[in-house]
């Protein structure tokens, strides 16, 4: 964990107001793992005041990528960053995905901007793993396939792919994947994660999810990002430090 | 090396510089030690400790507001026993004065915590939190009551020889009345201010953004309020003041000292720039050199009204 100035290389606008910011920082590129995040100060002013947490979307040579949409003041400022602009980055933070292990098929389940951490994960997966990406959104505009492999899509309104939730799509297709050694990696809105958790537990599937929370510091001192633990009802876990990636069996979402 | 003397005194306590890290913004030191050299800091105030561990409030605990943030953590902490067993050994490695912040639900609990912790030599002083806005029992129930603050000060002083600092609430009409009673009952100093009660709504769901409904406002938004409270105490009560409230840089520190603070605490800024303390300390030295100030402590209450 360190604080470093990183230089923006370019801002890329994907379809439907999704932005990719390519940022130069050999130190971050070298140390970050899939599923970890950075806490970014978008300006020196007092508004916005706090850093903004972003999972790292991808890493390429000495560069890392952030994926976001314009949601508030912070992301508006970030979307306007251009070549040469310097941003203050704190990281790498959090634990990241456990992607080495005894399974042969990795299944990505992403809802909306929950797609953000997966291009990097897919790149880092060992060569011998099969990958399927189940990508969902409310409408076709919310489906983000950037950096995904073997894609199946679902939308609530049926405007792209399967009509229904991405977890329903997974239920329908799981038997056809023909593997009993599956590991699921999920990220998306809490409603999606809850339904994914239920499905994985019912079907005895190993599943890790990347969670999200409002937070201030990003490294455990503000205690602002609690998440309920299954094992110990007397103590919260922290999304920033104990997560953001959790096995679905360990947390109440 | 310059000849500038950055050291300050708060009652009988001496700090190598006036920059302390506020309770709840430095945890128990371990995370922060990865990002700054704790040996350079004036002092550390621990996260509030209670007799037993506290789980704290459910999420959402934090929301950003203009130039500030609201928090309702709810005094999450490991409790006195775990603190002594698991956190103190790490803190012992550093040459930095350790102030233990205590939060409790009853006068007896404040006394019991102090009694246990005072045996630990690493702890140099106590800061008694009578002003947490985010818990049902204790907290503001005490902080708004002059006689309760007096009683807590008296009872805690009776069980320790170490300096006792009372952390005051700004959510009162006359903070100086509270500082007066602290002095009368033998308190060594006051910290001013704790957070201001605030709230924020989601205009679409009409629900408060914080689960606890209200939270404590901190950050640069509260600095003018904090300065006025420090000045009020300084002008009417002869008790050392540790200034807190929205300090972001060295200029803010100088301002608090002029208004009456002997030392200051950095809070919210630690979340944004964990290295702020180190930067501020070196800038304070430069300020003294440029302005030919030999002793930084000479700034305290040097206001020219």
> Which of B:19-38 have CB within 8 Å of A?
24-27, 31-32, 34-35
Work out the end-to-end distance of chain A between its first and last CA atoms, rounded to an integer number of angstroms: 27
**Rounded Cα–Cα distance for residues A118 and A157 (Å):** 24
Cα dihedral A64, A65, A70, A76, rounded to 10, equals: 40
pLDDT in the model for residue A55: 96
pLDDT averaged per 10 residues, chain A (length 253): 97 91 98 98 93 97 97 93 97 97 95 97 95 97 96 97 97 88 97 97 96 96 97 97 98 96
- Residue A100 sits at φ, ψ, to 5 deg, of -90, 140
Write out the residues of chain A at the interface with chain B, using a CB-CB cutoff of 8 A. 1-3, 41, 46-51, 88, 90, 213-217, 219-228, 234-236, 241
The whole-number pLDDT of residue B252 equals 98
Q: List domains and CATH numbers for chain B.
A: 8-56+74-195+220-299 (3.20.20.70)
| Model pLDDT for residues B200-246, shown as the tens digit of each residue | 999 999 999 999 999 999 999 999 999 999 999 999 999 999 999 99
Mutate to test the interface with A, among B22, B45, B101, B271 (most CBs of A within 10 A): B271
Structure-token pair, residue A34:
């899939």
Q: How confident is the model at residue B283 (pLDDT cuts 50, 70, 90)?
A: very high
Kindly determine whether residue B273 and residue A234, on different chains, have CB atoms separated by under 8 Å. Answer: no
One-letter-per-residue 3-state SS of chain A: CEEEEEEEEEEEECHHHEEEEEEECHHHHHHCCCCCEEEEECCCCCCCCCCEEEEEEEEECCEEEEEEECCCHHHHHHHCCCCCCEEEEEEEECCCCCCCCCCCEEEEEEEHHHHCCHHHHHHHCCCCCEEEEEEEECCHHHCCCCCCCCEEEEECCCCCCEECCHHHHHHHHHHHHCCCCEEEEEECCHHHHHHHHHHHHHCCCEEEEECCCCCCCCCCCCCCCEEEECCCCCCEEECCCCCCEEECCCEEC
pTM: 0.95
**Which chain B residues contact residue A223 at CB under 8 A?**
24, 27, 47, 56, 61, 73, 76
For chain B, first and last CA: distance in Å?
34
Exactly one of B100, B113, B132, B288 is catalytic; name it.
B132
- For residue B274, give how far its alpha carbon lies from the nearest alpha carbon of chain A (Å): 8
Taking only the tens place, the pLDDT of each residue in B234-254 is: 999 999 999 999 999 999 999
Q: What percent of chain B has pLDDT over 70?
A: 98
> What is the reported pLDDT for B139?
66
Element spanning B239, H or E:
none
Query: For A236, which residue in chain B has the nearest alpha carbon?
Result: B55
Q: What is the pLDDT of residues B249-262, one digit of tens each?
A: 999 999 999 999 99
- Can you say whether the dihedral through the CA atoms of A238, A242, A244, A245 is positive or negative? negative
How close, in Å, is residue B36 to chain A by CA atoms?
Answer: 10
Q: Nearest C-alpha of chain B: how many angstroms from A225?
A: 7
- Which of these, B34, B42, B43, B185, lies nearest to B101 by C-alpha position? B43
Query: Which of B27, B60, B64 is the closest to A220 by Cβ?
Result: B27
**B69 inside 8 A of chain A by CB:** yes
> Is B132 part of the annotated catalytic residue set?
yes
What does the pLDDT read at residue B27?
A: 93
pLDDT in tens, B164-185: 999 999 999 999 999 999 999 9
Neighbours of B216 (CB within 10 A): 27
Domains and CATH numbers, chain A: 2-93 (2.40.30.10), 105-210 (3.40.50.80)
- How far apart, in Å, are the Cα atoms of B255 and each of A17, A203, B42, B249, B285? 44, 62, 18, 10, 15
What is the residue-averaged pLDDT of chain B?
96
d(CA A59, CA A117): 11
Q: What percent of chain B has pLDDT over 90?
A: 94
CA distances from B143 to B103, B128, B149, B179, B222 (A): 11, 11, 6, 11, 18
Which residues lie across from B129 on neighbouring strands?
Answer: B167
Confidence (pLDDT) at A177: 85
Closest C-alpha among B166, B182, B171, B163 to residue B144: B171
Substitution target from B62, B65, B79, B224 for chain A, most A beta carbons within 10 A: B62
Write out the DSSP string of B56-100.
Answer: -PPSP-EEEETTEEEE-----B-HHHHIIIIIHHHHTTS-S-EEE
Q: Do B62 and A224 touch (CB under 8 A)?
A: yes
Given the structure tokens 């009988």, which residue do they identify? B12
User: Cβ of B123 under 8 Å from any chain A Cβ?
Assistant: no
B138, pLDDT greater than 70? no
Is the sign of the CA dihedral A63, A64, A65, A66 positive or negative? negative
- For B66-93, the pLDDT digits (tens) are 999 999 999 999 999 999 999 999 999 9
| Integer Cα distance of B244 and B42 in angstroms | 14
Lowest-confidence segment of A112-126, A128-142, B29-43, B125-139 by average pLDDT:
B125-139
Q: Which of B106, B165, B169, B166 is nearest to B133 (CA)?
A: B169
Contact A109, A206 (CB under 8 A): no
Interface ipTM: 0.94
């Amino acid at each position: 964990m360190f604080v470093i100035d990183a230089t923006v290389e370019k801002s890329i606008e994907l379809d439907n107001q999704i932005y990719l910011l390519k940022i130069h920082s050999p130190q971050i590129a070298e140390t970050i793992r899939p599923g970890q995040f950075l806490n970014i100060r978008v300006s020196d002013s007092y508004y916005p005041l706090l850093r903004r947490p972003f999972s790292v979307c991808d890493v390429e040579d000495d560069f890392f990528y952030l994926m976001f949409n314009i949601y508030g003041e912070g992301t508006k400022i970030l979307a306007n960053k251009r070549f040469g602009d310097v941003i203050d980055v704190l990281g790498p933070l959090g634990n990241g995905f456990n992607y080495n292990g005894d399974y042969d098929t990795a299944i990505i389940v992403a809802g909306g901007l929950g797609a953000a951490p997966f291009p990097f994960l897919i790149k880092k997966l060992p060569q011998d793993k099969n990958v399927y990406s189940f990508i969902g959104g409310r409408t076709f505009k919310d489906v983000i396939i950037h950096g995904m492999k073997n894609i199946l899509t679902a939308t609530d309104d049926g405007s792209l792919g399967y009509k229904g939730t991405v977890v329903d799509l997974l239920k329908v297709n799981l038997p056809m994947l023909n593997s009993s050694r599956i590991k699921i990696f999920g990220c998306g809105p809490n409603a999606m994660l809850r339904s994914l958790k239920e499905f994985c537990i019912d079907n005895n599937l190993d599943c890790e999810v990347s969670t999200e929370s409002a937070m201030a510091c990003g490294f455990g001192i503000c205690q602002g990002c609690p998440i309920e633990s299954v094992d110990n009802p007397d103590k919260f876990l922290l999304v920033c430090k104990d997560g953001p990636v959790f096995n679905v069996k360990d947390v109440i979402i | 090396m310059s000849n500038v003397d950055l050291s300050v005194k708060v009652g009988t306590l001496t700090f190598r510089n006036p920059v302390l890290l506020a309770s709840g913004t430095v945890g128990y030191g371990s995370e922060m030690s990865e990002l700054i050299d704790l040996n350079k800091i004036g002092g550390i105030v621990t996260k509030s400790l209670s007799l037993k561990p506290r789980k704290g409030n459910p999420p959402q605990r934090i929301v950003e507001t203009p130039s500030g943030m609201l928090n309702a953590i709810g005094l999450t902490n490991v409790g006195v026993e775990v603190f002594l067993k698991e956190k103190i050994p790490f803190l012992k490695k550093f040459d930095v004065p350790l102030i233990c912040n205590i939060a409790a639900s009853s006068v007896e609990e404040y006394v019991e915590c102090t009694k246990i912790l005072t045996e630990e030599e690493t702890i140099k002083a106590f800061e008694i939190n009578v002003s947490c806005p985010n818990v049902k029992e204790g907290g503001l129930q005490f902080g708004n009551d002059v006689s309760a603050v007096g009683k807590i000060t008296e009872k805690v002083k009776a069980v320790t020889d170490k300096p006792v600092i009372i952390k005051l609430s700004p959510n009162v009409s006359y903070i100086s009345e509270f500082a007066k009673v602290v002095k009368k009952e033998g308190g060594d100093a006051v910290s001013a201010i704790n957070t201001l009660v605030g709230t924020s709504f989601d205009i679409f769901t009409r629900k408060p953004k914080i689960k606890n409904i209200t939270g404590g406002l901190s950050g640069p938004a509260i600095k003018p309020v904090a300065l006025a409270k420090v000045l009020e105490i300084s002008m009417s009560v002869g008790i050392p003041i540790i200034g807190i409230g929205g300090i972001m840089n060295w200029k803010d520190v100088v301002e608090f000292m002029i208004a009456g603070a002997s030392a200051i605490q950095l809070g919210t800024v630690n979340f944004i720039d964990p290295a702020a303390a180190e930067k501020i300390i070196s800038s304070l030295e430069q300020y003294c050199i440029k302005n030919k100030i030999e002793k930084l402590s000479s700034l305290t209450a040097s206001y020219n009204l």
